[in-house]
Amino acid sequence: MAAGDSVDPHGWLVTFNDLMSRIAHHFGRIEPRRTATAYVRGLPADLERKNCWSLAEHAGLPGPQAMQRLLHTARWDADPGRCRTAAIPDHAVFATKSVLAIQMIGAALAAGVEARWVSGDEVYGQAPDLRAFLEERRLGYVLAIAGNRRVMLEGIERTAAQAATLAADGHRHRYSAGPGAKGPRFYLWAWARIDTGEADRTGGYRWLLIRRHPATGEPAFYRCYAPAAMPLLTLVRVAGVRWAVEECFQAAKGQVGLDHYQVRTWTGWHRHITLAMLALVFLAVLAAHRPGDDPQRVPLTLPEIRRLLAVLAPARPRGIEEVLRWSRWRRRHQAIARRCHYQRRSQP
Does the residue 156 lie in any domain?
Answer: yes
Q: Which domain holds residue 113?
A: 98-250
- The predicted structure's pLDDT at residue 291: 64
Domain check: are 234 and 342 in the same one?
A: no
Domain check: are 198 and 119 in the same one?
A: yes
- The predicted structure's pLDDT at residue 212: 92
Of 230, 250, 270, which residue sits at a domain end? 250
Closest Cα to residue 253, out of 222, 232, 276, 231? 276
Closest Cα to residue 221, out of 319, 148, 134? 148
pTM: 0.68
Domain check: are 219 and 327 in the same one?
A: no
Does the residue 116 lie in any domain?
Answer: yes
Cβ atoms < 10 Å from Cβ of 196: 13
Domain check: are 108 and 189 in the same one?
A: yes
Does the residue 231 lie in any domain?
Answer: yes
Domain check: are 199 and 102 in the same one?
A: yes
Does the residue 41 lie in any domain?
Answer: no
Instruction: Using DSSP bridges, classify how beta strands 219-226 and 140-145 pair: parallel, antiparallel or unpaired.
Output: antiparallel
Number of domains in the chain: 2
The answer to whether the CB of 60 falls within 8 A of the CB of 95 is no
- The predicted structure's pLDDT at residue 89: 61
Among 86-90, 145-149, 214-218, 316-320, whose mean pLDDT is lowest? 86-90
- The predicted structure's pLDDT at residue 1: 42
pLDDT digits (tens, 9 = 90+) for 272-294: 999 999 999 999 998 887 766 67
Q: Which residues contact 190 (CB under 8 A, 6 or more apart)?
A: 164, 167, 171, 172, 173, 209, 210, 212
Instruction: Using DSSP bridges, classify how beta strands 117-120 and 140-145 pair: parallel, antiparallel or unpaired.
Output: parallel
The answer to whether the CB of 149 falls within 8 A of the CB of 210 is no
The answer to whether the CB of 252 falls within 8 A of the CB of 277 is yes
The answer to whether the CB of 146 falls within 8 A of the CB of 228 is no
The residue with greater pLDDT, 298 or 140, is 140
Of 224, 250, 276, which residue sits at a domain end? 250
pLDDT digits (tens, 9 = 90+) for 188-247: 999 999 887 766 677 889 999 999 999 998 999 999 999 999 999 999 999 998 888 888
pLDDT digits (tens, 9 = 90+) for 68-121: 888 888 877 655 565 556 555 655 566 789 999 999 999 999 999 999 999 999
Domain check: are 329 and 244 in the same one?
A: no
Among 17-21, 270-274, 288-292, 305-309, whose mean pLDDT is lowest? 288-292
Domain check: are 108 and 232 in the same one?
A: yes
Taking the C-alpha atoms of residue 331 and residue 325, their distance in angstroms, rounded to an integer, is 10
The answer to whether the CB of 227 falls within 8 A of the CB of 169 is no
Mean pLDDT, the chain, whole residue set: 85
Taking the C-alpha atoms of residue 216 and residue 330, their distance in angstroms, rounded to an integer, is 48
* % of the chain with per-residue pLDDT over 70: 89
Of 216, 231, 250, which residue sits at a domain end? 250
The answer to whether the CB of 221 falls within 8 A of the CB of 145 is yes
Q: ∠ CA(66), CA(71), CA(75), 5° rounding?
A: 85
Q: Which residues contact 194 (CB under 8 A, 6 or more apart)?
A: 151, 152, 153, 163, 206, 207, 208, 223
Q: Which residues are bridge partners to 179 per DSSP?
A: 184
Mean pLDDT within 12-17 = 88
Domain check: are 129 and 228 in the same one?
A: yes
Does the residue 73 lie in any domain?
Answer: no
CA contacts within 13 A on the Cβ side of 76: 19
Buried b (16+ CB within 10 A) or exposed e, 295-321: eeeeebebeebbebbeeeeeeeeeeee
The answer to whether the CB of 55 falls within 8 A of the CB of 71 is no
- H-helix or E-strand spanning residue 326: helix 320-346
Q: How confident is the model at residue 348 (pLDDT cuts 50, 70, 90)?
A: low
Domain check: are 115 and 198 in the same one?
A: yes
Helices and strands (H and E) in the chain: how many: 14, 8
CB-neighbour burial class of residue 208 (10 A; exposed 0-12, middle 13-18, buried 19+):
buried
For 145-185, the DSSP string reads E-TT-EEEETTEEEEHHHHHHTS-GGG-EEEEEEEETTEEE
Q: Which residues contact 255 (CB under 8 A, 6 or more apart)?
A: 44, 280, 283, 302, 303, 306
Domain check: are 119 and 241 in the same one?
A: yes
Does the residue 90 lie in any domain?
Answer: no
CA distances from 230 to 109, 131, 140, 188, 280 (A): 23, 18, 10, 18, 35
Domain check: are 233 and 334 in the same one?
A: no
pLDDT score of 41 more than 70: yes
- The predicted structure's pLDDT at residue 321: 86
